[in-house]
Structure 1
């Protein structure tokens, strides 16, 4: 069973006049689903900071006011990934680097959970390092995650030798040993997707193209890697379920600089747009009665861009909208408790900002609010 005892969560205190004093600075955007919708209908936003992470939470469903920032201590985190399961639990995966009493640096992967919106986290739990050799362990990439439909957490990372490693929960809630899924020359950012039927697939760009691993059945072993001679721009791959048991992967094409969508066994479909700098944020939603795809990314000029198109109709391209808002890292996308699309970003000064879908046809975003 997962341990539900909670670690400390602190709020940046007000000063004597009642105004909020400056808190720890945001150090960039997290990886993954760092804007999440809780079971109670409220959104939460998470961002890394020196010594841990910061959390903001809506005070009411779909409202304009947010509580926070709340500091969740986590010393030594060099990367932070956020992933949410169907049960609404939010999982936090960190690559932690510490210096021991002997002065040597050591790296491990840590995991914490938030079970309810706005409440405390569990303690950080170490998942170890797949490499017994300390020097090799320092080469471990940042962890990314996917949560299967049964709630089991799967943690992927690039190993010291350039292949893919995995640690995952067993059905009884205990963690299995690290698994070596092979591969070579991988980028640091695997793109896993948890499908509604319980399987997980993962795509990673590499020096020689693209590798894909997939489960043939829920909870089963991963087959692969299967290689494809394709040319994603390094570190731009993202994943989304676009139909029953159908994983679609998105990346920037290294030759054209445009976004593409791709399903294993087919050819990449051009989507237009400008080159992305990091993995795309992805969202599937209903707009004007149609099943739609929304992508968002940071362009080469440092501004947020989003695109909208029909799910399964990517051949007609996406409608792209370049925003004037600068951002650090990838934006995040979610639906709020009223069903509206929300985009979040971290501005160059380390301030989280959000904008919501405005009434009307199509998708247009309203004014940006600073948290």
Structure 2
């Protein structure tokens, strides 16, 4: 998991980032304010590869891969915890096991998780299994966990990306070998997930991300395996659209926002050539209109995250080289996607 930025039901933002020994968390003291509390360390030895899913109720579901040493050797399992209120402690971590409960060697090959909530409020957790396919485990709306199920698939590389539309229709993208990404989706809210056609994507592992760009439509992003260029794709589009700009690293952060009264998608990524972050905005679902990247922030800033504050303004967060949280907010008195100066929040 890179840095994640979430808005709770009370309008305050929370930033999460993996650190040695667990997770660091920063929380806004008030919605839209300049002061934050943190970092607060959520101690979880062996925790890595964390993803976070948030539902309409504002609850944050944290799912991570945990590696520990036991009397019988290394052990791997998936763990889950929930934060019900902004700034409050998490629940205890609950083990979800792996798709391979009786084979420790296979369990070691379990990939990083992805997670999303569907229309019923059920949480689904996805991983690449030891056979190169996808396995999933579902927590029903009452909190009961079902068994791991095999969603099939093949040659999955890792870096799964999952999300739900505002009406709760879930999609999963799994970068795979031979120039394809596998896709599962719910045809309508509450329907059983089904395998879609493969997406033409020669994607780098761990570069996929997704955001809802219009009601009911999710746009998926990834980096080309050779060039590192960002591409965008959504259903009913014949081919992935290039997003221009220099090559970068990691997934792109994306959020849908209003810019100058227009429905836009705002993007941020780590530009390896400029050595800093770059941001862009374009009309939602109109990549052909052009995407122009603007460098921002200090040298070495990395792992960008985007969110909307309680007033609908864009907030960009990142980490500095010395582990401090950097935050920049959208200016409301200027045209275009103008950001205020970066605020350095605290040490990690």
Partner of 1:259: 230
Of 97, 111, 132 in structure 1, the residue corresponding to residue 80 of structure 2 is: 111
d(CA) in 1 for partners of 2:248, 2:153: 25
Using structure 1 for the length normalisation, give the TM-score: 0.86
Question: Residues 366 and 216 from structure 1, CA distance in 2 versus in 1: closer, same or farther, beyond 3 angstroms?
Answer: same
Partner of 1:357: 330
Query: In structure 2, what is the equivalent of residue 320 of structure 1?
Result: 293
- Indicate conservation of the 8 Å contact 2:121/2:140, yes or no: no
Structure 2: how far apart are the matches of 1:177 and 1:228? 28
- What are the Cα deviations for residues 206-234 of structure 1, in whole angstroms up to 9, with x where unaligned? 11112111122434432125323432333
8 Å CA contact 2:224, 2:230 repeated in 1: yes
Deviations 1:159-215 (A, max 9, x none): 112111111122443111111111222222111120123221111221111211112
1:161 aligns with 2:131: yes
The structure-2 alpha-carbon separation of the partners of 1:340 and 1:141, relative to structure 1 and needing over 3 Å to count, comes to same
2:246 equivalent to 1:274: yes
Q: CA RMSD in A?
A: 1.9
Q: 1:212–1:226: 8 Å Cα contact kept in structure 2?
A: yes
Residues 172 and 206 of structure 1: CA distance in aligned 2, closer, same or farther (over 3 Å):
same
Preserved CA contact (<8 Å) 2:29 2:36? yes
Residue 76 (structure 1) aligned to one of 43, 46, 64: 46
Q: Specify the alignment match of 2:182 in structure 1.
A: 211
Gaps of 5+ in 2: none
Change (3 A) 1:234 1:326: farther
Q: How many residues matched?
A: 340
Is 1:40 the counterpart of 2:10 in the alignment? Answer: yes
Q: Distance in 1 between matches of 2:311 and 2:212?
A: 22
Per the normalisation by structure 2, the TM-score is 0.92
Residue 11 of structure 1: aligned partner: none
Per the alignment, residue 131 of structure 1 pairs with: 100
Q: Does 1:140 find its partner at 2:116?
A: no
Q: 1:152 to 1:327 in 2, by over 3 A?
A: farther
Is the 8 Å Cα contact of residues 85 and 149 (structure 1) preserved in structure 2?
no
8 Å CA contact 1:203, 1:211 repeated in 2 = yes
For the 8 Å contact 2:277–2:302, the answer to whether it is kept is no
Going from structure 1 to structure 2, the CA distance change for 1:239 and 1:342 (only over 3 Å counts) comes to same
Superposed displacement of residue 254, structure 1 = 3.9
How far residue 118 of structure 1 moved from its aligned partner, in angstroms, is: 0.7
2:320 to 341, 347, 351: 347
Q: Structure 2 vs 1, CA of residues 150 and 274 (structure 1 numbering), >3 Å: closer, same or farther?
A: farther
